[in-house]
Amino acid sequence: MSGASVAIRLNPFKGCKGPEGAPVPWSPYGRILAERPSFTLDPLLHAGAYYVQDSSAMYVGHVFRKLLPAGPEHPVVLDLCAAPGGKTTDIAASLREACGGDFLLVANEVMRQRARALDDNVARWGDPCVAVTSVDPAAFAGMAGAFDVIVADVPCSGEGMFRKDERAREEWSPDVVRLCAARQKRILSDMWPALRDGGVLIYSTCTFEEAENDDNLEWAALTLGGEIVPPELEFPELTSLTRHGVRLDIGLGEGQWVGALVKSGSGRRQDLARVKSALARLHPLRLDPPRGETKGRDFIPSPDWALSLDFERGAYPEAEVDLQTALHYLHRDAIQLPGAPLGYNVITFEGLPLGFVKNLGSRCNNLLPPGRRILMDVA
């Protein structure tokens, strides 16, 4: 098998800065790169200027943009199986373009370690309207009718990843397909009460198995109650139709399948304040953007605050640094800022904030979270 292409998706709210490439047909900010750069050593990635995402996976965002209900104010969306954050950041940008900052996107990942990686990527992307949770899908059943759209990119047998992942090839078997199909039904059943009547389910996998794709969407429509959205063939040279969805074979990107249905019924939407209260009971990793905390007489700004789209530029002194200094900052080294004012400063690279330091004069205390530091040698 030939190697996969490398793709990124630019953040339109941070200036669309990043490596240049050919456009992804179904993503306005997707770019296919001629070669794979060292993303770890690009400060723009750490600033949230772009996200590295397979081009086929971006098709879910395309379907989301097509099916996003036009009517509701402050749409409330759940990305159910969100780690590491590619679809979450795509959906967040789409929502912000559609309705400004008047939305709530909940990104959930049941595995705690993966949820932490998701939270880091959400922090870098910087959208303050994104919450992060780490609960089993069944936990959302108590939030009846809370979500206008649920995106469920469910765990699957992974046939679409065979080129990229040798382990996926080795572990595949008919038993794995049956196990995955059953688990997907459980996930759909568990989260179904959380989707409002008339709401949209976007269901996707990275496998080609009918049992996990068309059959499960059909099962959801018949058993849980919904109407399948007829798929459209928009990119015939790169996609094909199955009974109920769109299939992207391994080629430009990895394999992907996407389908959708509309939940039956016409019940009332939940009030946004009630949704947030219910969400708070799930002990989210992130709900409202942290600005910092007071310790004694000192207010210590949160590292995430500098990355937020709501961050007020000019509220703190800014120190624009070169590439090497930026990498040392991201390595969590104690950098120096000659001539910078004492106290908290924002480190910027190409005009984008990377985070805070506290300038002591002879050196700076680096406030980058330890878990986000570059581990590669930056000397």
Catalytic residues: 206
Contact 85, 117 (CB under 8 A): yes
What lies within 8 Å, CB to CB, of 349 at 6+ separation is 43, 44, 47, 320, 321, 323, 326
Per the CB < 8 A criterion, the answer to whether 217 and 244 are in contact is yes
Q: Which uninterrupted H or E stretch holds 208?
A: none
Write the CB contacts of 80 (distance below 8 Å, at least 6 apart in sequence).
108, 137, 140, 150, 151, 152, 153, 154, 187, 191
Task: Please work out, in degrees rounded to the nearest 5, the angle formed at the alpha carbon of residue 18 by the alpha carbons of 165 and 151.
Answer: 55
State the Cα–Cα distance between residues 341 and 319, nearest whole angstrom.
10
Q: Where are the alpha helices (DSSP H) in the chain?
A: 43-46, 58-67, 86-99, 112-125, 166-171, 174-191, 214-219, 272-280, 303-307, 323-330
From the list 173, 182, 241, 170, the residue with the least C-alpha distance to 211 is 182
Q: What is the dihedral of CA 77, 83, 84, 90, to 10 degrees?
A: -20
Structure tokens at 234: 């928009």
Which amino acid, one-letter code, is at 90? D
Whether residue 84 is preceded by a cis peptide bond, meaning omega within 30 degrees of 0, is yes
Distance from C-alpha of 25 to C-alpha of 32, rounded to nearest angstrom: 10
3-state secondary structure 355-378: EEEEECCCCEEECCCHHHCCCCCC
DSSP-derived letter for residue 239 is: -
* Torsion 15-130-119-184 (CA) sign: negative
What's the one-letter identity of residue 248? L
